[in-house]
Amino acid sequence: MNKDIYNLNTFHRRAVFAICLLGIIIYSNSLNCAFVFDDQQNITENAFIRLTELSFEKLSAAAFKSPHANRPVANVSFAVNYYFGKYNTAGYHVVNILIHLINGILVYIFTLLTLKQAGIAAPEHSRSPQFSTAYISLFAALIFIAHPLQVQSVTYIVQRMNSMAVMFYLLSLIFYIRGRSTLIRWKRWTQWAGCLLCWFLALESKEIAATLPLVLLLYEWYFFQSLSKDRLKQNLIYCIGLVVLLGLTAYMFLGSNPLDGIAGSYIHRDFTLEERVLTQFRVLVFYLSLLFYPHPLRLNLLHHITTSHSLLDPVTTLFSLLMLVFLLGLAVGIAKKQRLVSFCILWFFIHLMIESSIIGLEIIFEHRLYLPMVGFALMTAYLFFHFLSAHRTWVFIVSTAIIVSLGTATYFRNKVWQDPITLWYDVISKNPHSSRAHYNLGSDLGRQGNLKEAIDHLSEALRLKPDYTKAHNNLGLALFKQGNLDQAANHFSAALRIQPGNSAAHYNLGLVMEKKGHIEGAVNHYLEALRIKPDFAEAHNNLGISLQAQGRLKEAVYHLSAALRIRPDYAEAHHNMGYTLEMQGDVKKAIDHYLAALKVRTDDVRTYNNLGVALTRQGMLKEAVLCYVEALRLNPDDAGVHNNLGAVLQRQGKSKMALEHYLEALRLNPDYAEAHNNLGIALAGQGRFTEAADHFSEALRIRPDDARTRHNLELVQRRIDRSTGDKALD
């Protein structure tokens, strides 16, 4: 007996190792997958997760001021990720994979406990009932880990909200089962305290955990009351408590007027409540088909599901409803003989009752199957061993083939998520009529500088959905980058006609005004953007630049400081603050901001150049030279840097080297007046007055009002005249 226990414990350890190894292998190629889709709103554009210190105040802001303020636990996890790795996606993916591995282990434990509680007997030919249930549990956990539908909850970073909620949900369920199974009172209440704590953490990760009281009630009746009505009556107090918990949870999320809340969720939808409910019949059947047949060509981030307008429009709505009624009837009908299978069928329906019912959410997403997958994996593993248990060799061969097939599909599905462009091309290839897919592809292409294709896809998004505010904005940005300022302004204005309170459109119009030289108009649009969205860091930054151009340096510093309070690692704002402070004469602080900018953006030639200028003003010539040399390493063809380096070298007495850089600056930009003037000064210092005069004259041709250059030319001309007079006397 002790030997069996030892061997079983060894099996459990090996099972956990197998679960982790499989998960690590199939998700090993996801570490460099980029931020996509809702990652931007919740992570990259979310100022509140940008932690610079692990203080209660900062963590609280990340938890409750992020876009999904009702999911504080997940928000804090993103903030901690940012604190340790900024926007390096590898760290975020490591956490997501770790959560998925933990969930796989929890599925293994939950299956073990459920099989034991269900009294699943080993086949007569089985040597050990414990090992039979352990094999079933391992197979269920491996299905959960390997299934390609899970990619959207693991590789899609923001869906950590989903997988984290499931992690705490399963922990809560396991605590309940263990507490319900023990006869020792203090252990029972300790386990149930853990159950409540984990349920709270699950709810604070994502609202899908609200179904837990209903599942506990069902689990209690199926596996602890053996479907006995009499025993259910005897434990009615527990059941009432669970129902009360369910009611309180619904109140917490829907408020005292749930109907108003549900109606409000349809304000921005292009379908009604009735249409959504009818469409969900077909969606649920489609979900079931994906569970059983997850072919890569059937998987998509944005599925296209036509809206059902009645039970007969389309007619598949009625067929889907009949199929779902049949499954529910089957679950009820087989409950006595096949409790486990019946429970798993009901598990599927219960865990989609929030996202596939009357609340006005998006019609379909694959990540919604992450929690239903637990019941599917449990049922599949149980039925598989139930029917093939007499053929142990076939059990091993077929189960291995299934896991390898699922894992391979998941590995290759991850490749689609490697890059946003690849992902959106995949979406469009399967759903060409998705305006969101064309919008996102166009936006990502625009960010990568592929403006022509970006404009094509953003235009297609607007053709499919003419009132698409974000598409107008991003099409305007692409046109702005092309230099088509008037067309860009038209699209920004169109966005404001559709949504007058659109801060991004005001900000973008400010960019157009600034580019056209209408600084006052730019200031007005930036101010309006900030009135709508006070924590708009980019608007504060650009308003600071515009105010700086108007000579309103004190106001500029105020807005640049605001941008840096919102985003302490905002390199552009640090650079602009440095330049503004330098204009105010505070060169020392300016240097600090240039250095802060370079910590974030280490390849910014402009910041290295400006830092070099500031260091020169402080007399730190050696350090200035190093900055200019680094700038030229990054961009050897920057005429301004060559000119500035020449000026410092000249001050160091290295005239020959200075001449080389002035000449290189003029080769790159023949109309560079400052370089002509500096080269003239250097030549005059070598007694080459005629050549110096030529460069001073050229500088004045380019910049006729430059008094300094005119003075230099007059001085050199006198030397030339004096030299000519001396020769005449000879």
Per-residue DSSP letters for 303-353? ---PPP-BTTBTTHHHHHHHHHHHHHHHHHHTTTT-HHHHHHHHHHHHTTT
Give 646-700 pLDDT, tens digit per residue: 999 999 999 889 999 999 999 999 999 999 999 999 998 888 899 989 999 999 9
So what's the pLDDT on residue 269?
85
3-state secondary structure of 436: helix
So what's the pLDDT on residue 501?
92
Report how far residue 11's alpha carbon sits from residue 17's, in angstroms, rounded to the nearest whole number: 10
So what's the pLDDT on residue 443?
94
So what's the pLDDT on residue 254?
63
So what's the pLDDT on residue 260?
75
C-alpha separations of 483 from 63, 124, 165, 515, 516 in Å: 41, 79, 47, 9, 10
So what's the pLDDT on residue 5?
56
So what's the pLDDT on residue 2?
55
Does residue 618 contact residue 594 with C-beta atoms inside 8 Å? no
Token pair of 690 as six digits: 């005629």
Q: Give the bridge partners for 310, in sequence order.
A: 313
Question: Is it the case that residue 125 has pLDDT exceeding 60?
Answer: no
Report how far residue 518's alpha carbon sits from residue 404's, in angstroms, rounded to the nearest whole number: 63
Question: Is it the case that residue 167 has pLDDT exceeding 90?
Answer: yes
Q: 118 or 342: which carries more pLDDT confidence? A: 342
Give 21-62 pLDDT, tens digit per residue: 999 999 999 999 999 989 999 999 898 998 888 899 999 999
SS3 content of the chain, % helix, strand, coil (to 5): 75, 0, 25
Sketch the domain layout of the chain as residue ranges. Answer: 2-35+87-413, 433-499, 501-602
Burial class (CB in 10 A: 0-12, 13-18, 19+), 683: buried
The pLDDT of 458-468, averaged and rounded, is 96
Identify the CA nearest to 647 among candidates 672, 634, 498, 180: 672
Question: Is it the case that residue 137 has pLDDT exceeding 60?
Answer: yes
Token pair of 468 as six digits: 């698409």
Question: Is it the case that residue 504 has pLDDT exceeding 60?
Answer: yes
Query: Which residues, 6 or more positions from 325, have their beta carbon under 8 angstroms from its beta carbon?
Result: none
Token pair of 335 as six digits: 């409950």
Q: pTM of this prediction?
A: 0.84
Phi, psi at 635, each rounded to 5°:
-145, 90
Report how far residue 296's alpha carbon sits from residue 300's, in angstroms, rounded to the nearest whole number: 8
Question: Is it the case that residue 131 has pLDDT exceeding 80?
Answer: no
Report the topology of domain 433-499: 1.25.40
Does residue 406 contact residue 146 with C-beta atoms inside 8 Å? yes
Report how far residue 254's alpha carbon sits from residue 502's, in angstroms, rounded to the nearest whole number: 27
Look at phi and psi of residue 729 and say left if phi exceeds 0, alpha if psi is from -120 to 50, else beta.
Answer: alpha
Per CATH, the number for 501-602 is 1.25.40.10
Q: Which contacts (CB < 8 Å, 24+ apart) does range 656-665 have?
A: 658/682, 659/683, 664/639, 665/639, 665/640
Report how far residue 631's alpha carbon sits from residue 608's, in angstroms, rounded to the nearest whole number: 6
Question: Is it the case that residue 248 has pLDDT exceeding 80?
Answer: no
For a pLDDT cut of 70, what percent of the chain falls above it?
93
Q: Give the bridge partners for 313, in sequence order.
A: 310
Q: 327 or 716: which carries more pLDDT confidence? A: 327
Phi, psi at 314, each rounded to 5°:
-80, 165
The pLDDT of 84-96, averaged and rounded, is 95
**Whole-angstrom Cα Rg for the chain:** 34
Give 63-79 pLDDT, tens digit per residue: 999 999 999 999 999 99
So what's the pLDDT on residue 607?
95
Write the DSSP symbol of residue 34.
P
Report how far residue 216's alpha carbon sits from residue 231's, in angstroms, rounded to the nearest whole number: 16
C-alpha separations of 144 from 171, 184, 381, 637 in Å: 16, 33, 10, 55
The pLDDT of 721-728, averaged and rounded, is 62
Question: Is it the case that residue 519 has pLDDT exceeding 90?
Answer: yes
Q: 265 or 512: which carries more pLDDT confidence? A: 512
Does residue 349 contact residue 375 with C-beta atoms inside 8 Å? no
Query: Which residues, 6 or more positions from 259, have their beta carbon under 8 angstroms from its beta carbon?
Result: none
Of the pLDDT bands very low, low, confident and very high (cuts 50, 70, 90), residue 266 is confident
Report how far residue 265's alpha carbon sits from residue 359's, in angstroms, rounded to the nearest whole number: 7
Burial class (CB in 10 A: 0-12, 13-18, 19+), 722: exposed
Of the pLDDT bands very low, low, confident and very high (cuts 50, 70, 90), residue 392 is confident
Question: Is it the case that residue 523 has pLDDT exceeding 90?
Answer: yes
Q: How many CB atoms lie within 10 A of CB 453?
A: 15
Report how far residue 98's alpha carbon sits from residue 213's, in angstroms, rounded to the nearest whole number: 27
Report how far residue 405's alpha carbon sits from residue 110's, in angstroms, rounded to the nearest whole number: 24
Query: Which residues, 6 or more positions from 516, have their beta carbon under 8 angstroms from its beta carbon?
Result: 485
The pLDDT of 421-442, averaged and rounded, is 95
So what's the pLDDT on residue 231?
67
Q: How many CB atoms lie within 10 A of CB 319?
A: 14
Report how far residue 465's alpha carbon sits from residue 483's, in angstroms, rounded to the nearest whole number: 25
Write the DSSP symbol of residue 67.
S
Report how far residue 224's alpha carbon sits from residue 178's, in angstroms, rounded to the nearest whole number: 12
Query: Which residues, 6 or more positions from 549, have their beta carbon under 8 angstroms from its beta carbon?
Result: 519
Identify the CA nearest to 642 among candidates 694, 679, 683, 614: 679
Token pair of 237 as six digits: 């107090």
So what's the pLDDT on residue 388?
76
Distance of CA 308 to the CA centre of its chain: 32
So what's the pLDDT on residue 244?
73
Report how far residue 322's alpha carbon sits from residue 319's, in angstroms, rounded to the nearest whole number: 5
Question: Is it the case that residue 458 has pLDDT exceeding 80?
Answer: yes
Question: Is it the case that residue 123 has pLDDT exceeding 50?
Answer: no
Of the pLDDT bands very low, low, confident and very high (cuts 50, 70, 90), residue 250 is low
So what's the pLDDT on residue 6?
59
The structure tokens 């953007």 sit at 529
Q: String of b and e for 471-484 (b: at least 16 CB within 10 Å)?
A: bbbbbbbbbbeeeb
So what's the pLDDT on residue 416?
95
Instruction: Choose the weakest-confidence range: 242-251, 295-304, 481-490, 558-567.
Output: 242-251
Question: Is it the case that residue 1 has pLDDT exceeding 60?
Answer: no
So what's the pLDDT on residue 181?
86
The pLDDT of 327-353, averaged and rounded, is 95
The pLDDT of 495-515, averaged and rounded, is 95
Identify the CA nearest to 145 among candidates 100, 93, 108: 100
Q: 232 or 651: which carries more pLDDT confidence? A: 651
Report how far residue 199's alpha carbon sits from residue 168's, in angstroms, rounded to the nearest whole number: 6
Distance of CA 327 to the CA centre of its chain: 37
Give 608-655 pLDDT, tens digit per residue: 999 999 999 999 999 999 999 999 999 999 999 999 999 999 999 998
Question: Is it the case that residue 228 has pLDDT exceeding 90?
Answer: no
Write the DSSP symbol of residue 365.
-
